[in-house]
A and B are shown apart, each in its own frame.
Chain A
Amino acid sequence: MDRIKYDNRIVRDFAMATSIWGVVGMLVGLLAALQLVDPMFNLNAPHSTFSHIRPLHTNAVIFAFVGNAIFMGVYYSLQRLCKARIFSNLLSRLHFWGWQLIIVSAVATLPLGLTTSKEYAELEWPIDIMIAIVWIIFGLNMFATIMKRREKHMYVAIWFYIGTWVTVTLLHIVNSVELPIAFMKSYPVYAGVQDALVQWWYGHNAVAFFLTTPFLGLMYYFLPKAANRPVFSYRLSIIHFWSLIFLYIWAGPHHLLYTSLPDWAQSLGVVFSIMLLAPSWGGMLNGLLTLRGAWDRVRDDHVLKFMVVAVTAYGMATFEGPMLSIKSVNAIAHYTDWIIAHVHVGALGWNGFLTFGILYWIIPRIYNTKIWSSRLAGYHFWIGFLGILVYTLPMYFSGITQSLMWKEFTPEGYLLYPNFLETTLQIIPMHIIRAVGGGMYLTGAIMMLYNLLKTMKQGSLIADEEVSVSPMMPEESSKDKSHPGWGHRWLEGRPAQFTALTLIAVTIGGVIEFVPTFLIKSNIPTIESVKPYSALELAGRDVYIEEGCNNCHTQMIRPFRSETERYGEYSKAGEFVYDHPHLWGSKRTGPDLHRIGGKYPDAWHYAHFLDPNSMSPGSIMPSYHWLARKKFDIELVPKMIGAMRTLGVPYPDGYEERSIRHYRKQANAFILELKNSNIDADAESKMIALIAYMQRLGKDIKGQATDLSETTEEEQ
């Protein structure tokens, strides 16, 4: 027998991190939710405005709350499943502090508007590099522990952890290929449709491989442990893993249904998304059936209560997901609160409740005590559970209500609600109820934190848990003739297979190698009149990204009559070829902006940014008054243009050198125009750049793109 020590300290550290960051993430979410009731909750500062803190909320919940929960569960279960102490204390420490540093960097940058605009990948390039390093440290620690395991069989949970690590590594790298321009500023190498496709390939798989597969691994370990009975079918769990892992990675395009993405890619996403129902429900049933014959225990055991709701929420979210991927359902749900309800069934129900269940199970164990108050844990369960219902139900009503209002026509064939604002005001009561639900859920999380701290106080941490485990039996020789090993010797005897494998390996290498060429080539415009943005407009685009406008406004008009009537001609792939990054958005809290250019005078925009209520009474858009005061860093403009040229945007020769001149010239034209309306604006302000960008949107296909040639400059 070997005497070894499991490391519980690292488990405790991640447990604390997930509890604390969870509360922080939910608090930011509540602040964001309140602003969709009344914008005064932005506290009149850019850093606390919805468009800045919405990415902070999603990142905090996904990477800080759920991320730390994953690491907590993996570090606890992996040691016990492998019958080995975690490989390296140093790597564990580096992993823990590195991850917290990433989270702190996110808190420090996102509210300032330092963002890439790509959903769930908003963090800028230096933080992206940090994430890659810490993730690799985690991987080293995990794989080294698996290598030195004393249990030959790898329990299914370990497969889920490995699948998670491998896929997230690849997703992060492919999606983060960006060209740095300054510290905390970059442009992605992909443009328009391609950028959108890569983004949602990543975005969907972030849900799949960060919020789902690791948690399924945790479910397969902690649910049987908490119920003290084996999983319903171990065979099913293995099928669950392999089928899920092969299907998930193709589902991403369902986020882009009815957009400019080619139809065949949309259909690919739909087919795989619907197929996903089978493995997801197989896993969900496997979890629930584990409790067969033990349902009476769910009545008293708060840990099981949380886990049962979690697995049920997983089942509901994974039923809803494939349904939402059906084009006709998606036509109603996309861009609305329905999607917000859907993701919160997943986040609050599945991720949140499983995390809570695991925390209530682990903390007393590693502190060698009992939970301080099981009654308080019970209250947490009920307030959290009701919180989920109070949150999601109104959001379903809100989403469907607003969508139907957008699509409603009068008998004469006009839009019944031509003013977008009407549809927003209609759902405000639902947003109030939603905020109450979120507040209830947050209250529960705070109760848990208190309960856990009390539990820790009454017990004492077993930092190194000493156990005796039997060493692993030496492996049987793989050179047995009847059972050839999976090694080179096996390949050598099979030239055909060897050739095929080599070919595949080479082809993959080739694809990766030739891709940059394809990318440049595809930037040749497919619509003649679509031109690169002027210096001022490009600056305005950066301001749009910085202020997070894409969190509430889309730039993608779907080919429905209700949308072309409201916004104008539907969006076409060729219009986005110079968009690094794409700004299609995924939610219409406000109207689409793809054809906003020329719709309103400059003075309207100016007044609207200062006080949206002055132009649209009742609007829940906050004031962006700081835009009039803050200056755009004009010195950066030549660099921005140069970066765009590197990425294949065909600016006229030498435009970098005269870009600042052209910037000022175009800005001054706006100043003159505004003077006519008695507005005294600053030509270098971010406001002017943003208005210029607004006025450019949708102009290209009308043949009204800004002329960047030198001759026009000399004429004037």
Chain B
Amino acid sequence: MSAIFVLIGASLIVALGFLFAFLWAARKGQFDDTDTPSMRILHEDRKMAENGSDKDE
């Protein structure tokens, strides 16, 4: 069952990596604003063209 050490080790590396990523993100203020990001993605950089045709419309 020593393979469990590989898996626990590997899993811990991932978990710790993500823990630090989380701490980094929290300190950088990534999670300070939980409202506008969800609105912001809706903004299109480009206007959708109206040409082309849906033959069923």
Contacts and interface: CB of A to CB of B under 8 A. Distances in A.
Contacts of A458: 52-53
B6 to A, nearest CB: 5
Contacts, number: 145
Interface stretch (A11-19, A90-98, A234-242, A663-671): A234-242
B12 A235 contact: no
A374 B57 contact: yes
Contact of A166 (B6, B17, B42): B17
Contacts of B49: 368-369
B42 A170 contact: no
B1 A170 contact: no
Interface in B6-53: 6-18, 21-25, 27-28, 30-31, 33-35, 37-42, 45-46, 48-49, 51-53
Range, interface on chain A: 35 or more
Given A81-B41, A373-B54, A508-B13, A465 B6 contact: no
Contacts of A368: 49, 51-52
A2 B24 CA distance: 28
Contacts of A472: none
Interface string A338-379: 000000000000000000000000001101111111111000
B55 A372 contact: yes
B21 A162 contact: yes
B interface: dominant SS: helix
Nearest to A230: B38
Contacts of A459: 52
B56 A373 contact: yes
B14 A190 contact: no
A190 B3 contact: yes
B52 A163 contact: no
A468 interface: yes
Contacts of B22: 242
Contacts of A183: none
Given A224-B42, A467-B45, A174 B7 contact: yes
A473 interface: no
A198 B7 contact: yes
Contacts of B16: 504, 508
Interface string A478-508: 0000000110000000000000000010001
Range, interface on chain B: 35 or more
Contacts of B30: 153-154
B54 to A, nearest CB: 4
Interface string A419-438: 00000000000000000000
A74 B22 CA distance: 21
Given A249-B11, A469-B45, A194 B18 contact: no
B37 A519 contact: no
A695 B11 CA distance: 39
A174 B54 contact: no
A221 B41 contact: yes
A265 B2 contact: no
Interface in A220-278: 221, 224-225, 228-231, 233-235, 237-238, 242, 245-246, 249-250, 252, 262, 265
A197 B31 contact: no
Contact of B3 (A197, A249, A364, A504): A197
List the 3 shortest-distance A-B pairs measured between CB atoms, nearest first. Answer: A369-B52, A518-B2, A194-B3
29 contacts: A155-B37, A159-B25, A163-B18, A197-B4, A198-B3, A201-B7, A221-B41, A224-B42, A234-B38, A237-B38, A242-B18, A245-B18, A249-B11, A265-B4, A364-B52, A368-B49, A368-B51, A370-B53, A370-B57, A374-B56, A374-B57, A375-B56, A376-B56, A486-B24, A486-B28, A514-B5, A515-B2, A515-B9, A522-B1
